[in-house]
Amino acid sequence: MRTRIEPADSGLPEAAELIRCGEIVAFPTETVYGLGGDAGNPIAVSRIYQAKGRPGNNPLIVHVPDVAAAQDCSAQFPAVAAVLAQRFWPGPLTLVLQRNERICPAVSAGRNTVAIRCPNHPIAQALLRGSGRPIAAPSANASGHTSPTTAQHVYDELAGRIGLILNGGPCSVGLESTVVDVTGIYPVILRPGAISQAMLAQCLAAAGMAMEVAALPSPAEKAIRDDLKSPGLLESHYAPRTVAYRFYASDLRGFNTYLRRKPNERIGLLCFEDFVAPTTVAKKRVLPSNAEACAKVLYSALRELDAVRCDVLLVQFPESIDGVWLAIEDRLRRATKELPL
Ligand code: TXA
Ligand code: MG
């Protein structure tokens, strides 16, 4: 199949028609590019899984243009969901709700819940309204790889497997949405993102809902998490193709030992602005020390380093887990391994 990248504006009518016909299309959102198909059409949904090589047990996020459309796709829209949606939609927040019959069981990988998001991007909104369908859309990368934040990234991932990519330029957030399960007694964050635990808790408190917002589980709770909820929270995910190891600037023992033991390796380094890099690294990409700015360029930087075919990537970890740093840390953890000592 030939894959075309079209300017978003001129490509929109065709993209909307393809969605209505059960075909799949890649499109920009504010978080990352999505690979979309009609969430009510089992053929479209199976095409998404197939194009990505995604395991059938990892459910997809359904995109809708507004709260009313989210209510149309869910069996229940609890008060917590209404408050969070009112405050954060359109935006990088996904709510896990009870599914209704408008959504194919395959979207939810057979569960009775569905993850729903209202994206804050003019092209995504125009595609939703133009097609008139709820659009199931995972990130538009091959399963397990780094998410795409430009149309070219999507092409590099899925060329030959999809027909059309709408080009809306680089994504403004750069990390996937915060996923929050609101089907239980209190909300549980299944995947951290640009909307932090503190922002969620503050919003609920302001609405008079004094309740806990459970954060991403600690390693001790990992077993429950794995069993319970989001297959997308698998340990290894968002990964570059080159083997990547993590290190902290506050403890360079492993880093220095590695450089000493492997003097002939071609090393790619991903580090923050103030890190004094050894001159021996073959390729370096520097990340901003502001969390939002870092999130925006993180995946591009990883991809650029991945493309230069180093023997190994060494990835500096943020020392903070406040706000968006937690989401950055989470993605980098899944993309990297611990340095071998
Ligand atoms: O920002 C985003 O969320 C992007 C853009 C395209 O909207 N989409 C995205 O989709 O990141 P994907 O498929 O790459 O990640 C969806 C995440 C996975 O971790 C998946 O396991 C989880 O949402 N998820 C989907 N449906 C779920 C459900 N019913 N219950 C629990 N987790 C669910
Ligand atoms: Mg993904």
pLDDT exceeds cutoff 50 at 221: no
Structure tokens at 193: 């993102």
pLDDT at position 228 over 90: no
Cβ of 38 closer than 6 Å to ligand 1, yes or no, is no
What pLDDT is recorded for position 242?
94
Residue 254 lies in a domain: yes
Answer yes or no: is 238 within a domain. Answer: no
Backbone angles phi, psi at 214, to 5 degrees: -70, 135
Report the C-alpha gap between 99 and 113 in whole angstroms.
Answer: 5
Res. 215 pLDDT band, cuts 50 70 90: confident
| 237 assigned to some structural domain | no
The response to whether residue 331 sits with its C-beta less than 6 Å from ligand 1 reads no
- The percentage of the chain sitting over the pLDDT mark of 90, rounded to a whole number, equals 87
The verdict on 219 and 281 lying in the same domain is no
Distance 193 CA to ligand 1 centre (A): 11
H or E element at residue 63: strand 61-63
Q: How many domains, the chain? A: 2
Q: The domain that contains 265 carries what CATH number?
A: 3.40.50.11030
3-state secondary structure of 161: coil
- Say if CB 268 and CB 284 are below 8 A apart: yes
Give the amino acid at 3.
Answer: T
Residues 59 and 199 in one domain: yes
Give residue 267's domain range: 244-338
Residue 161 counted as domain residue: yes
Indicate whether 145 and 114 sit together in one domain. Answer: yes
Q: Is the pLDDT of residue 235 over 70?
A: no
Pair (8, 138) in one structural domain = yes
The number of the ligand nearest the C-alpha atom of 179 reads 1
Domain end point (choices 199, 226, 253): 226
User: How far apart are the CA of 232 and the centre of ligand 2, in A?
Assistant: 7
- Residue 234 in domain: no
Q: What is the pLDDT of residue 212?
A: 84
Q: CA-CA distance, 181 to 94, in Å (whole number)? A: 8
Tell me if 85 CB under 6 Å of ligand 1: no
CA–CA gap between residue 80 and residue 97 (Å, rounded): 11
Confidence of residue 224 (pLDDT cuts 50, 70, 90): very low
- Mean of pLDDT over the chain: 93
Is the model's pLDDT at 231 over the cut of 70? Answer: no
- SS3 assignment, position 106: helix
Asked which of 191, 226, 261 is the last residue of a domain, the reply is 226
Instruction: Look at residue 340 in the predicted model and tell me its pLDDT.
Output: 83
Atom of ligand 1 nearest to the CA of 117: 7
Same domain membership, residue 315 and residue 190 = no
Phi-psi category of residue 9: left, alpha or beta, with phi > 0 → left and psi -120 to 50 → alpha: alpha
Q: What is the CATH number of the domain that holds 71?
A: 3.90.870.10
Binding site membership of 58 for ligand 1 (Cβ less than 6 Å): yes
The answer to the question of residue 232 being in a domain is no
Q: Which residue stretches of the chain are H helix?
A: 8-20, 42-52, 67-73, 79-88, 122-131, 151-158, 197-206, 222-228, 253-261, 291-307, 324-335
Nearest bound ligand to the CA of residue 183 = 1
Ion ligand 2: residue ranges with CB closer than 5 A: 139
Tell me the mean pLDDT in the region 273-295.
95
Ligand 1 site, residue 117, Cβ cutoff 6 A: yes
Q: Is the CB of 137 under 6 A from ligand 1?
A: yes
DSSP-assigned beta bridge partners for residue 61: 115
Specify the amino acid at residue 35.
L
Q: Let me know whether 260 and 162 are in one domain.
A: no
Q: How far is the CA of 53 from the centre of ligand 2 (A)?
A: 12
> Are 44 and 152 members of one domain?
yes
Distance 64 CA to ligand 1 centre (A): 14
63 CA closest ligand 1 atom index: 7
**Does 211 share its domain with 284?**
no
d(CA 277, ligand 2 centre) in Å: 31
Q: What integer is the mean pLDDT of 90-96?
A: 98
Residues 177 and 320 in one domain: no
Residues 255 and 188 in one domain: no
Residue 257 and residue 212 share a domain = no
- Side chain identity at residue 157, one-letter code: E
Token pair belonging to 273 = 């602005």
Across the range 237-262, mean pLDDT stands at: 91
Quick one: average pLDDT of 111-140? 98
Examine the domain organization and report whether 109 and 217 are in the same domain.
yes
Single out the residue in 193, 226, 259 at which a domain terminates.
226
Please tell me the predicted confidence (pLDDT) of residue 210. Answer: 78
Q: How confident is the model at residue 341 (pLDDT cuts 50, 70, 90)?
A: confident
Please give the torsion angle defined by the CA atoms of residues 126, 130, 132 and 133, in that order, rounded to the nearest 10 degrees.
Answer: -60
Q: Is 216 touching ligand 1 by the criterion CB < 6 Å?
A: no
Residue minimizing CA distance to atom 31 of ligand 1: 230
- For ligand 1, is residue 28 a contact (CB within 6 Å)? no
Q: Whose CA is nearest to atom 6 of ligand 1?
A: 34
**Residue 213 corresponds to which amino acid?**
V
Instruction: Identify the band that residue 274 occupies on the pLDDT scale cut at 50, 70 and 90.
Output: very high
pLDDT given at position 238: 72
Phi and psi at 275, nearest 5°, equal: -80, 130
Counting from 1 in the atom list of ligand 1, the atom nearest the Cα of 113 is 29
Q: Could you report the per-residue pLDDT of 28-47, keeping only the tens digit for each?
A: 999 999 999 999 999 999 99
* Straight-line distance from the first to the last Cα atom of the chain, in angstroms, rounded to the nearest whole number: 45
Q: Is there a domain that residue 319 lies in?
A: yes
CB atoms under 10 Å from CB of 293, counted, come to: 13
93 strand-pairing partners = 178
pLDDT score of 226: 53
Please write the tens of the pLDDT for every residue from 146-170.
999 999 999 999 999 999 999 999 9
Structural domain includes residue 148:
yes
Is the separation of the CB atoms in 149 and 279 below 8 Å? no
